[in-house]
């Protein structure tokens, strides 16, 4: 171990300890995470200026930093399946007070998620053509080649070679316990379906002659949800350190020339994200909710989603913001937050794969402005958005479904690796805002929103840790 490597690791540890001092403050979690992000960018820039990209010392340093960064990602992946499972199960079971509304809540919440994803696909066509983006001229370097090889190893033959009917059938769980381990690429939607069926079964048990046992089951579900939420919040307290390490890696190892080369795609992505936030605002305004007040109240959730890049990890804050700040009933908030993690993600499953498809289309002899093709693209994007996991890599998974369904190669999904983390932050924030919009819209349409909470000026902190 060289002296320079030891110095880099020592500085990294000192900065971690400095970041740990935020525990003694009254800062909200989102502010602590933002501090980690800023600190990571500054440290990464320092390393980038001192060591040229690809230097052995920098490579070795990043491998040590990855203990914190990748360790945090692995912990997020650890909690995703149990979190999604118990969240969906609890969301359905909590509708026992209004089982007659289950269909309406499902239709409005999931419908809003899917409709906004359809709109996101149309917005993607617009911004991609506005910026004149195409797949021509993109260079496949060593990092891109390695990424493509990994994608082909993980997904080719499992997802990309499936026909649409086969893909839909892959959702249906045959062994839910294997799905809970993530044994197949579409395992998360299988877990969602299994949890939804279990939830409905609990409702049936409560309605039938076994009402007493049904109450025990609901109590057990509620206890399990609280237990898993405690686990998630435990992992969430590590988010500032994980974000610090991940941003250090991204900035220190990024090639500025590559980022500038793909700057058009980065700019187009954020223009598309901004347009979709406006779409959400219009939906809210149409339902009688003041969009400006709404965004002010959910801003901590959006900030956390942006910095953590995990829709799933945002579920607890998502539910709390809807119930305590917006006035949405807990049953609807849980439903929209949970299903919004796996269905209709406007950013990862809407904008991103549609933009890639429009870029590839001219190289395949397809006119990307053909109205019929655009509608086909939007339809495929909307359908493929069902089952995209709310953790890092979800956007790539969505692209690997959409591109082969259109008869396009998956190569482009690997050529944007250098700017992927920069875009993923905005996409995740949009995903989470989409689920909160769906919950708020559903509550408004059903006339169940507690306006006193929405009009309240002083809101309690969300997951202040």
Q: Residues 453, 327: contact at Cβ < 8 Å?
A: yes
Mean pLDDT of the chain: 85
Orientation angle between helical segments 102-130 and 352-360, nearest 10 degrees: 40
428 pLDDT band (50/70/90 cuts)? very high
Only one residue has tokens 């089952």, namely 387
pLDDT band for 68, please (50, 70, 90 cuts).
very high
Q: At a CB cut-off of 8 Å and minimum separation 6, what does 428 contact?
A: 305, 306, 308, 309, 310, 311, 314, 347, 348, 390
Highest mean pLDDT among 164-178, 254-268, 303-317, 431-445: 431-445
Residues 148 and 363: beta-carbon distance below 8 Å: no
**Structure token pair of residue 10:** 């020592």
Q: What is the pLDDT of residue 389?
A: 60
Which carries the bigger pLDDT value, residue 101 or residue 19? 19
Domains of the chain from N-terminus onward: 3-455 (1.10.3860.10)
The pLDDT-based confidence of 189 (bands split at 50, 70, 90) is confident
Cβ(337)–Cβ(319) below 8 Å: yes
Residue 88 near residue 339, CB atoms below 8 Å? yes
Whether the per-residue pLDDT at 254 is higher than 50: the answer is: yes
What does the pLDDT average to over 31-48?
A: 90
In the structure, what pLDDT confidence band is assigned to residue 357 with cuts at 50, 70 and 90?
Answer: very high
Q: What would the pLDDT profile of 279-315 be if each residue is shown by its tens digit? A: 999 999 999 999 999 999 999 899 888 888 888 888 8
| pLDDT at 347 > cutoff 60 | yes
Q: Cα dihedral angle (267, 150, 385, 431), rounded to 10 degrees?
A: -50
> Tokens in use for 436?
């909160």
The predicted pLDDT at position 465 comes to 42
Query: Which of 51-65, 85-99, 182-196: highest mean pLDDT?
Result: 51-65
Q: Using an 8 Å Cβ cutoff, are 294 and 24 in contact? A: no
Across 71-85, 200-214, 290-304, 373-387, least confident range: 200-214
Winning range, highest mean pLDDT, from 196-200, 314-318, 337-341, 434-438: 434-438
Residue 105 scores a pLDDT above 70:
yes
- Contact predicate 364/408, CB 8 Å: yes
Residue 309 and residue 306: Cα distance in Å, rounded? 6
DSSP state of 169: H
Report the alpha-carbon distance of residue 421 to residue 112 in Å, rounded: 27
Q: What is the mean pLDDT of residues 15-40?
A: 89
Under 8 Å between Cβ of 129 and 367: no
Mean pLDDT within 350-375 = 92
Rounded Cα distance, 294 and 292, in Å: 5
Least confidently predicted of 41-55, 150-164, 322-336, 366-380:
150-164
| Cα–Cα separations (whole angstroms), residue 190 to 13, 195, 303 | 41, 9, 30
Burial call 56-70: b when 16+ CB within 10 Å, e when fewer: ebbebbbebbbebbe
Q: Band of the pLDDT at 202, cuts 50, 70, 90?
A: confident
Any idea which of 59-68, 143-152, 365-374 has the lowest mean pLDDT? 143-152
**pLDDT for residue 193:** 87
Q: Tens digit of pLDDT for each residue in 448-465?
A: 999 999 988 766 666 554
Q: How far is CA 463 from the centre of its chain?
A: 19
What span, in angstroms and rounded, lies between the C-alpha atoms of 89 and 421? 31
CA distances from 161 to 351, 396, 405 (A): 23, 16, 9
Q: 153-162, 223-232, 250-259: which range is least confident on average?
A: 153-162
pLDDT of residue 304: 87
- Give the distance, in angstroms, between the CA of residue 306 and the centroid of all CA atoms in the same chain: 9
CA–CA distance from 248 to each of 12, 45, 79, 245 (Å)?
9, 8, 24, 5
pTM for the full predicted model = 0.84
**What CA–CA distance (Å, rounded) separates 65 from 12?**
8
Q: Would you give the DSSP letter of residue 21?
A: G
Query: Helices (DSSP H) in 94-141: which residue ranges?
Result: 102-130
CA dist., res. 195 & res. 43, Å (int): 43
The reported pLDDT for the residue numbered 459 is: 66
């Amino acid at each position: 171990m060289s002296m320079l490597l030891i110095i880099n690791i020592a500085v990294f540890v000192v900065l971690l300890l400095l970041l740990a001092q935020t525990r003694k403050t009254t800062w909200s979690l989102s502010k602590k995470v933002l501090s980690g992000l800023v600190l990571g960018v500054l440290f990464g820039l320092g390393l980038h200026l001192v060591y040229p990209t690809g230097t052995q010392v920098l490579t070795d340093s990043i491998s040590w930093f990855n203990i914190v960064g990748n360790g945090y990602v692995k912990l997020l992946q650890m909690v995703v399946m149990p979190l999604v499972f118990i969240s969906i199960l609890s969301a359905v079971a909590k509708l026992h007070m209004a089982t007659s509304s289950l269909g309406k809540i499902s239709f409005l919440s999931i419908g809003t998620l899917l409709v906004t994803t359809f709109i996101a696909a149309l917005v993607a066509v617009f911004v991609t053509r506005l910026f004149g983006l195409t797949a021509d001229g993109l260079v496949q370097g060593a990092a891109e080649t390695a990424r493509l090889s990994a994608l082909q190893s993980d997904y080719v033959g499992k997802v990309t070679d499936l026909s649409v009917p086969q893909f839909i059938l892959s959702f249906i769980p045959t062994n839910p316990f294997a799905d809970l381990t993530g044994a197949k690429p579409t395992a998360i939607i299988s877990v969602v379906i299994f949890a939804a069926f279990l939830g409905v079964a609990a409702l049936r048990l409560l309605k039938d002659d076994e009402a007493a046992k049904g109450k025990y089951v609901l109590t057990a579900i509620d206890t399990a949800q609280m237990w898993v939420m405690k686990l998630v919040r435990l992992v969430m307290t590590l988010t500032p350190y994980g974000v610090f390490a991940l941003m250090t890696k991204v900035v220190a190892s990024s090639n500025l020339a590559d980022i500038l080369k793909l700057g058009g795609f980065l700019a187009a992505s954020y223009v598309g994200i901004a347009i979709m936030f406006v779409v959400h605002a219009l939906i809210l305004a149409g339902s009688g909710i003041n969009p400006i007040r709404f965004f002010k109240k959910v801003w901590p959730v959006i900030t956390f989603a942006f910095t953590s890049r995990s829709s799933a990890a945002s579920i607890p804050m998502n539910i709390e913001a809807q119930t305590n700040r917006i006035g949405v009933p807990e049953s609807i908030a849980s439903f929209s937050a949970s299903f919004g993690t796996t269905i209709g993600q406007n950013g990862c499953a809407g904008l991103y794969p549609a933009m890639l498809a429009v870029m590839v289309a001219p190289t395949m002899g397809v006119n990307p402005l053909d109205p019929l093709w655009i509608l086909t693209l939007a339809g495929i994007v909307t359908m493929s958005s069902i089952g995209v996991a709310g953790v890092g890599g979800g956007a790539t998974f969505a692209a690997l479904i959409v591109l082969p369904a259109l008869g396009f190669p998956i190569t482009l999904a690997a050529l944007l690796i250098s700017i992927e983390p920069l875009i993923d932050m905005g996409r995740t924030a949009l995903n989470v805002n989409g689920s909160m919009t769906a919950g708020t819209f559903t509550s408004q349409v059903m006339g169940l929103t507690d306006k006193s909470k929405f009009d309240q000026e002083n809101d309690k902190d969300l997951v202040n840790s």
